[in-house]
Each structure stands twice: as C-alpha cells, then as structure tokens.
Structure 1
Amino acid sequence: MTYKPTNWSGRDDAMVETMIRRGASRRDLLKMLMASGIGMAAGGSLLLRADQAVAATPVYGGHLKAAGWSSSTADTLDPAKASMSTDYVRCCAFYNRLTILDEQGVVQMELADSLKTDDAKTWEIKLKSGVSFHDGKTLSAEDVVYSLKRHLDPSVGSKANAMAAQMTEISKLDDLTVKIVLAGANADLPTILAMHHFMIIADGTTDFSKANGTGAFICETFEPGVRSIAVKNPNYFKDKAPYLDSFEFFAIADTNARVNALLSGDIQVGASLNPRSVRFMDGKPGVQTSITRSGSYTDLNIRLDMEPGAKTGFVEGMKYLVNREAIQKSILRGMAEIGNDQPVSASDRYHNPNLKPRAYDPDQARHHFEKAGLLGVEIPLVASTAANSSVDMATIIQQMGAQIGMKFTVDQVPPDGYWSNYWLKSPVHFGNINPRPTPDILFSLLYASDAPWNESHYKSEKFDKMMLEARGSLDEEKRTSIYWEMQEMVANEAGTIIPAYISNVDGLSDKVGGMRPNPLGALMGFTFAEHIWLNA
C-alpha cells in the first residue's frame, strides 16, 4: 500500500464534526481516515479534536428533563416569594433581571442597558428598548417601578423585603429610565438587583398561575409540588438563546433516586449531588459532572451568649479541635476548599487570601478547654440531615474530642422543624448557608449586631461601622481593605467555625453541553435552561 500524505485543514475537521453529529461511529471514522492515509495516532487526535468541538458547539432543538432537590405545594411563579431551588429555576427561565452575574461574579447588564451613580445613593437605570413580555407587551419603566415597589408592600410577603427596604424612592423618569434613591449609599446595588427575587414582571401583575415574563421560555404547564413544562420563547430579545425547544423541571428529593434517574436516562440533569453519589457515578458511561466552586458551607455555631460558648477559651479550643482536612477529604470527598471561619469564599473577589485556616492542634485545643474549665464536661452537638454533612462533621469532632478527654454527644434531630426549633437557638449546633453575591449581604445577614441570622450572637460596634463604611464606598481598593479586615474579625472573634466551602456538583448526561459554573450556585445559578443544549 502506498502511503499518500494528506494535509487535513480546518475544513476537513469540520467535515468530521458534521459526520459525528450525523451519528457516524468512531470505528467507521477511523477506517475512513486511515483509508485516506491518516495513521491511527493522527486519526485518534483528529477525532478527539472533533469530539471536543462538537461538545462545545451549541445545538438547537430537543426536550430536556431536569430534576432539582426541593419542591412543595408552596412552589410559586412569583419571584418575590421564591424560596426554593425549583422556584429559582422557573423564575430564571420565565423572567429576567435588570442585571446578572457572570461566571467571575462580575455584574453584567440584562434588561438594563446601564446603571449610573455619582454617590452610590441615587441611581439612574436605562432599560433596553424593544424587549417584549410573553403576552406581547413592550417592557417599560412602569414595569420596573411596579416590580421593585412590590417588595416594599408587606401584603406581598417578599423574601427580599429587607434588601428592598433601602430603596426610599423608585420612580419613572421616562419610558426607558428609572430612578432609585437609597436611604444610604450602597455601591452593591447592581449586584443586589441580580438576585433571583428581583425579576421584572409586567406592571399590575397579580395572577401568577402562569408567568408572563420576558424570559427565554414560556410557561406551558405549572403544577406546584409536581412539575413545570416550559417551551422556547420565539421572540426572546437575546441573540441565539435558548437552544432547547422545551424542558420539564421537577424535584427528586432523594439523592440516590436522582442519580439513578440520571443513569437510567430518565433525566438529563440531576442537580446538587453529594460526594458519595459522585463517587458512585465515577466510571459510569453516559454521565458527567459539572462542579462549581461556590460559597455554600455547613458551619458549627457556638452561641457566645450561652454556655459553653460564653466560657473564655471554649470557642478557641473548638477552632483548634476541628480537623478541616479530615472533613474536606473524608466527609466531602475532596469536593470542597478548606475554610477559614468566615463566610467570604475563595470564589469571591473580596476573599482575603492572607487569612490562613486554623491548623488542627489537639494540644492547643486541650489547653483552651482546660482554661475554660470544660475538659471532661459533656457537651451536646446538635446536628441534622437538614444541614448538609453536619452529622458526619459532628461525629468527627466527637472522635477528636475523645482523644483529648472532651466528652461530646451527637444529638441528631429530625430535619422537620430543624431550622425553626434548633438553628440559631441551641448552644452548639450546625447551620447551612447558601452562596450570597456580596460580602455586605453575608455580613449584614449573619454577623452584624442586628443580623437576622446571627448564628453565634456576635456583636461588635467596630464591625457594624466598618460594614456601613464599605457599603457606601465606590473606591474598590478601600472596600477590599475593609472587607479583608472584617473577615479577620469574624474568623478570630465570632463563634462560627466554617471548616470548608463546599463545591456544588450537578450530574449531567454526556449529551448535555454548555453547563458552566456560576457564583450564585447550582445549575449555573439556576439559569441553566437558557444556556445548555442537547447533542444528538
């Protein structure tokens, strides 16, 4: 056989890509390439490039089934009342926000064309022109004013009321311009408006049995606690998106059942898998994972206003006793980054990289427990499956304590009622915090003296003043410096121990393309339906 060299060009690569999309097998393609004079190694390399190109090239069409992990008969299409993952997924599909966060956590415009301010207190928002709601109505300033003002109405019951309360004036300047005046300067307003609750609805909307939004999909079916079916919006204002013709979304609460549905092909996306499930999927054909570094975490909370947390030395001893590496490797199976006892994770641009985690040191822990007079005293650790991995974490702490003479009991309580009966109330207990887009939201929610979720009852006038100073500053260097110091204060003074920032893992069929991480968490910050596609 005479060898005839062939110079394969980008055009030939495209031909192979087309054949793959048409269903040609790898074996047939290799035969064709070798018949054309391409060796086995070169042919394999070309096929690898073509496979990668096919996977990265959007494909239009198809119906996708996706399963989240939470659902109830209280599921809603009202973005102001959204509280579960299923709510967020649907709202992101049917509506849009004024701004969105990209994969780096940077604010980008969505329905807004621009946001301008000179003092971080008075803001002018210019809207995109020519955007239509599903019923044909054209987006205008009235829709934005109505949407934002709803959060201030107590009868609405908005989950974002506390954040919206800073908006003392929301008014129309012209058909495409809105003015917002805040009670105090807040440079984070563009980021706040990117949160899921601040979706824009049509002026005067009171019926949420179907979602009349501007989003990439139109609601065809909505059965609270059961499922929703969405079909492509043919008049969507963004170029190219969405790629899917339709998608169905529902919840499968049990993680193992979610994984089995994915492996069997009943669903193409299974959200938020735990480390054990990911290990089970390893090596299984037809599935892949999408891993997002996010700011979610399970923390150990020690109330500083109650014993044993009120005893000098106890919190310090616990920080030395918690073996962060064991938690990261054994419990979270490496799908986490070691934490340093403050809530701003490494995925946040304001994260302080110089603040090192407390090293595991049982001798130091014993010293501090003796100082507190608690060595040998029985102390309950309240945990529940409601707080992810908390039971396993409590068990490790119990074992480490036993080695130095500390007596911890693991009080595992039922998930039903955990958040209302134990969280924030028990002297030593676990919490579970989802990602938030700014340090200000995290600090004001969890660590300010009047924070509604002040898990350890940490109080510091200095901290409160610094929080307000950073919030109102447009100087990024100054804000960063303040946030770094605040992270140090929380890590060293508060009674919360954050051993790891947990990565979010979504399970996917290998036919799904386009899934990328997002700082707002699972399923591309719940916007996945607009961005992914199905390969043939």
Structure 2
Amino acid sequence: MTDSKIVNWTAADNAMVEDAIRRGASRRDLLKMMAAGGIATSVGGTILGRAMSAVAATPVSGGHLKAVGYSSSNADTLDPAKASLSTDYVRCCALYNRLTFLDKSGFPQFELAEALDTKDALVWTVTLRKGVQFHDGKTLDADDVVYSLKRHLDPAVGSKVAKIAKQMSDVKAIDPRTVQITLTSANADLPTILAMHHFMIVQNGTTDFSKGVGTGAFKLETFEPGVRSIMKKNTDYFKAQGAHVDSFEFFGIPDENARVNALLSGDIHLITIGPRSIRLVENRPDVVVQKTMSGAYTNLNVRLDMAPGNQKDFVDGLKYLINREQILKAALRGVGSIANDQPISPINPYCNTDLKPKAYDPDKAKHLLQKAGVMGQTLPVVASEAADVSIDMAMILQQSASEIGMKLDVQRVPADGYWDNYWLKAPIHFGNINPRPTADLLFSLFYAGEAAWNESRFKSERFDKLLVEARAELDNAKRKEIYGEMQGLVSENAGTIIPTYMANVAAHSRKLNGLEPNPLGGMMGYAFAEYVWLEG
C-alpha cells in the first residue's frame, strides 16, 4: 500500500511541497500535509528530504544578504589595485569583474574576456565580450583594460601587485574589443594571474574610487571604510543569471566571539571563523559549517634584516622550537596539515613532497639559540586576532621556549590597525596569508627579493633567477623541479616559519545556499555575493 502511494505521488505534489518549504512551512506541518494525503510518515520523510534538497539546489531571487569578515580598517578601499584585506576583496568582487576568474577546480574561465590567445606564452591577445556596461552606462572597451592593467605600473598608484604586473612590458589596444599584452618573458600562468582580485577592470581614467563604478553584479549604495558596505543588485548585469539577492551588506568584525554570536542570533547569514569556534556552531541545526582545505596559512615572521633575526642560528633555533603537531591539534583543532616552512601546500601540483618539516627538537633548538646569544634576553613576539590563531600559536611557542629557559614576551595587539602597524614591521610577528592559485604568485608576492610583501626580507639571487626561469618553462616536469628547489631555498633560508597549512572555515545560516569552495580563498574566493541565494 505504501509503495502504491509512492507511485501516485506526482510532480505537482512535489511542487506543492517545495512551494510550502519556500514559504516557511515547518517539517511537522509538511508531514501532516502529506499524511492527510495518505502518505506514511516514513515515506513522507523521504519525500520531504528530496524536496528540501531540490529547494536548496534551486536558486531563489530576493532578500538582503548580510555577511561578515574578520578584518576591517580605516584604510579599507574600493581600488582593486590597493586591496589587501579580505574585506577589500569581497567588495571588489561584487563591484568589478576580471578578464578571467577561477572555477572551483582552479582552472581559469573567461569573464570580461571572450578569448585569450597566445602562440608562445609571450604575446597574448585578449578579445572582450560585447555589450558589457559599467554601472554608469559606459560600454566596456579596450581602453578600459589597457588603463586598468597599466596603472599597476605607476608607482604613484601603490599597487599591491606592481611587481607581478611589471612583467607586462606592453599593453595596447588593437581595436575597441581587442587588447594585446606582451610580457618581458614567457609566462603560461597569465590567464590565472589575471584572475587575481587586484586585476579587476576599472573605467578608463578613474582616479576617484569612492563610488565603486565597475561592471560587477552589484552597484554601490554605501561605503564607510572600517564600518560597512551596502550594495544593490545590478539589474543591467551582463551575465544572464545575475545576482540572486536584491541587496548585500558586508562589514568586518575582528572579534571572533562577536562574529559567532552575530550568526547564532540570526543577524548575519555568513561569517568566517577559526578552528576554535567550530565546536560552538557545528551542532546547531540552523547553522552549516563548511571546511575547505586550502593553501592558507598563519606564519611566524622573523625579519632577517633586524636583530635577532639577522643571526641564522636564531631563526633555525625557532624552527626546531615550533611544535607543529601541537599547533595542528590544539590551535587548529586538527583542521589542517603539517607544513615545512614554505608556502606551496600539498593541494598545489608543484608541492615538493620530498621536503620534510623540521621535527620538534628542544635540545637542538636550545643549542642554536645559545649560539645566537639570545637565551638571556626577553624577546617580544607580536600576535593579534587579526592573524588567525596566531595568539594560540604564540602561546604554544612561548611554553616550548620556557621549557628550555628562553623568555618570549607575547604581545597581544588589537586587530584594528594590525596590518598597517605591525605586519612587515615588527622584528618577530605573525602573518596570515590567503590562498593564491599558482606557485609563481606566492613566490612573487612574498619571497621575491623586491616584493612589497616579503615578510622576512628574504634575499636570494638564486631564488630570483629560478623564479624567472619557472615562468617561462612550459615543460611541466621541469617546472616542478624548479619550484621544488625554490621551496627548499625558502624552507632553509627564509625567516617565515610556516608550521601548518589551514583549512578555510565558514559558518552560515541554513537559509543561505550555493556556497562552494574556491582556490582564491574562503567565501568562494570572496566572490560569494554574486552566486549565493537566501531561502525563506
């Protein structure tokens, strides 16, 4: 009898249940409705599960999306070239577009570009989409692309990717829809590089970015640096699907407990969290936790151009004093993997799996630190909530140091202003690096001799030479060999101590759907606002 009822359950019945779900009917109400139609409770539960899955997979239009990141600053910007924090990336992804973007598998796809062609990885031809309009009605053309790319080369702009853009020796318009990019040397990664957040396309001649005029899925309503941003759906968006939500609000809450409370109270749909907060939300029926393995990491930076980091024995001593297993277990709650003091994680195809991490060895650490002459000193280590789990990591290191008679003064500083006042500046401090899609980008941004974000001031002529060679190498096996040597140089000689690779952890309301992992970082590579939708 039950089976006959399943056979007689029609598509129209399914649609009725799905509509009731969207209108907010409770599970009990739905089961009562099906029972009234003669469906057994056990069968009704199965049908209801299928209906709920179907509803979740079908985008719904409308609603006001509210999401929170972990950082904010008075230096927040809408200029893609100057973006440096996740909150900057989120706003830029909503307001602008890139020539390419990375799908969840890490492969570049076309966005503003319709085609990207080359014969030698040296000269590239970009063909633009037809009919793309900026928020003010201007049609996108080649001059906009030329201006957007060339401004990274202007020192007055202060682009965060100036060193990467420097490889573009010439960028010129061939016709209104065609741009030619010539590189200083061949680089097969250019389509992936152009998918970086900084390479958003802005309107030709733009110098005032306060209005956020782009081609993106949202138009700017309100922007208060360090406070919040509010955007509304761009109804003239060039993508047929467009954003699902009507409006979008984003702001930073540096304090993790406050972020969690905002989510649990129902005030926020999506937050980023650290491993220590997973237990607070993972068993809540109204919350979904998404863990995505990534190349993100929090690292201890020792400046090699300042005391005590200018003594190699000191840096090597700290590397043996880092208890990686304990950091993974206690600070990351097991959500991650052991790292070996270089930025290329196991999810990257160029990872050197033969390069082993330094084992926790207090005796060896003590010997090296004694050679460096620091055992009688009290050394400050700057940590902050701004650098995810850095305080927990610092406390673990401090305990290990005390056990060998070394004194570390862990200085907890506010998250607000951390990236401007302490990162890259303090002799010993923590960083927090978001995933990057290629080995070249990680090395170019953080380890090239003249890189603006070279956290430990690592300098190596051999490394810089290999960096250029790897870009031009089209043989994948040879390229992996080059990157393997570079990883060894960083692991042994840089002052960046990377004990673990981390997973991106997001927590969101069950009302939010469509969130997927992306190699450019959490929150779908910070582009979530265009793709997610709200139920109920």
Query: Matches of 1:279 and 1:393 in 2, distance apart?
Result: 19
State the match for 2:513 in structure 1: 513
Deviation at 1:513, TM superposition (A): 0.4
Q: Which residue of 1 aligns with 2:43?
A: 42
Matches within 5 A, 1:80-479: 80-270=81-271, 272-304=272-304, 309=309, 314-366=314-366, 372=371, 376-378=375-377, 380-385=379-384, 386-403=386-403, 405-412=404-411, 414-415=413-414, 423-424=423-424, 427-479=427-479
In the TM superposition, what is the alpha-carbon distance from 1:303 to its structure 2 partner? 4.5
The superposition leaves residues 481-535 of structure 1 with CA deviations (integer Å, 9 ceiling, x where unpaired) of: 3212322332234333211122232331110001112222232122111000001
CA distance in 2, matches of 1:204, 1:457: 35
Match of 1:7 in 2: 6
Q: 1:502 aligns to what SS in structure 2? A: strand
229 and 451 in structure 1: CA distance in 2 versus 1, 3 angstrom threshold: closer
- What residue is the counterpart of 2:54 in the other structure? 53
Matched to 1:505, the amino acid is V
Higher alpha-carbon deviation: 27-36 or 323-332: 27-36
Shift >6 Å, 4+ stretches: none
Q: Does residue 535 of the first structure (1) align with residue 507 of the second (2)? A: no
- Report deviation, 1:52: 2.2
Query: Relative to structure 2, which stretch is displaced further, 340-349 or 355-364?
Result: 355-364
The normalised TM-score by structure 2 is: 0.90
Q: Kindly state the Cα deviation for residue 126 of structure 1 after the two structures are TM-superposed.
A: 0.9
* 522-531 vs 379-388, which moves further: 379-388
Q: What's the TM-score, normalizing by structure 1?
A: 0.90
Contact 1:65 1:247 in 2 (8 A): yes
Post-superposition offset of 1:398: 2.5
Worse-matched range after superposition: 111-120 or 37-46: 37-46
Q: Residue 103 and residue 13 in structure 1: after superposition, are their counterparts in 2 closer, same or farther (change >3 A)? A: same
Matched AA of 1:407: M
> Over aligned residue pairs, what C-alpha RMSD do you find?
2.8
Cα distance between partner residues in 2 of 1:302 and 1:82: 24
> In structure 1, what is the Cα distance between the partners aligned to 2:82 and 2:423?
22
Query: 1:156 is aligned with what amino acid?
Result: V
> Cα distance 1:400–1:52, how it changes in 2: closer, same or farther (>3 A)?
same
CA shift for structure 1 position 261: 1.9
Cα-to-partner distance string for 1:4-48 (whole Å, 9 max, x where unaligned): 632347835454333322333322332344455544333323322
Distance 2:20 2:54 in 1: 12
- Separation in 1, partners of 2:106, 2:2: 53
Contact 1:120 1:473 in 2 (8 A): no
Matched-pair contact (CA < 8 Å) for 1:105–1:348? no
Of residues 498-507 and 373-382 in structure 1, the stretch that sits farther from structure 2 once superposed is 373-382
Distance 1:168 1:225 in 2: 36
Aligned-partner residue type, residue 479 of structure 2: R
Tell me by how many angstroms 1:327 deviates. 0.8
Mapped to 1, the partners of 2:10 and 2:378 lie a distance apart of: 67
Q: SS in structure 2 opposite 1:518?
A: coil
User: For 2:6, what is the secondary structure of its paired residue?
Assistant: coil
Q: 2:207, 2:421 → 1: CA distance?
A: 34
1:320 shift after superposition: 3.1
Distance 1:420 1:214 in 2: 30
Report the CA distance between 1:125 and its aligned residue: 0.7
Of residues 52-61 and 157-166 in structure 1, the stretch that sits farther from structure 2 once superposed is 157-166
> 1:427: how far off?
5.0
Q: Distance in 2 between matches of 1:409 and 1:305?
A: 20
Q: 1:185 is aligned with what amino acid?
A: A
Q: CA 1:180 to 1:283, structure 2 compared with 1: closer, same or farther past 3 Å?
A: same
Measured against aligned partners, the alpha-carbon deviations of 1:257-297 in whole angstroms (never above 9, x if no partner) come to 22222222222222x22233332223334222333333222
Using the TM superposition, name which of 328-337 and 274-283 deviates more: 274-283
The percentage of counterpart residues that share the same residue type is: 59
Separation in structure 2 between the aligned mates of residue 376 and residue 225 of structure 1, nearest angstrom: 41
Cα distance in 2 between the residues matched to 1:48 and 1:6: 17
**Counterparts of 2:437 and 2:528, CA distance in 1:** 18
Whichever residue aligns with residue 44 of structure 2, its letter is: G
Give the match's secondary structure for 1:384: strand
SS at match of 1:465: helix
Decide whether the 8 Å contact of 1:394 with 1:410 is kept in 2. no
User: Secondary structure in 2 aligned to 1:7?
Assistant: helix
Please say if residues 347 and 519 of structure 1, whose CA atoms lie closer than 8 Å, have aligned partners that are also in contact: no
After superposition, the Cα gap between the structure-2 partners of 1:365 and 1:225, relative to the gap in structure 1 and judged at 3 Å, is closer
Give the equivalent residue in structure 1 for 2:496.
496
User: Do the aligned residues in 1 keep the contact of 2:100 with 2:194 (CA within 8 Å)?
Assistant: yes
Residues 358 and 46 (structure 1), Cα distance of their counterparts in 2 relative to 1, 3 Å cut: farther
Q: What letter is aligned with 2:118?
A: T
One-letter amino acid matched to 2:509: S
| 1:137-172 CA distance string (max 9 Å, x none) | 222112111222222233333333232222221111
Cα distance in 1 for residues equivalent to 2:212 and 2:419: 30
| Paired residue type of 1:484 | G
For the 8 Å contact 2:307–2:427, the answer to whether it is kept is yes
Decide whether the 8 Å contact of 2:135 with 2:215 is kept in 1.
yes
Counterparts in 2 of 1:399 and 1:236: CA distance versus 1, 3 Å: same
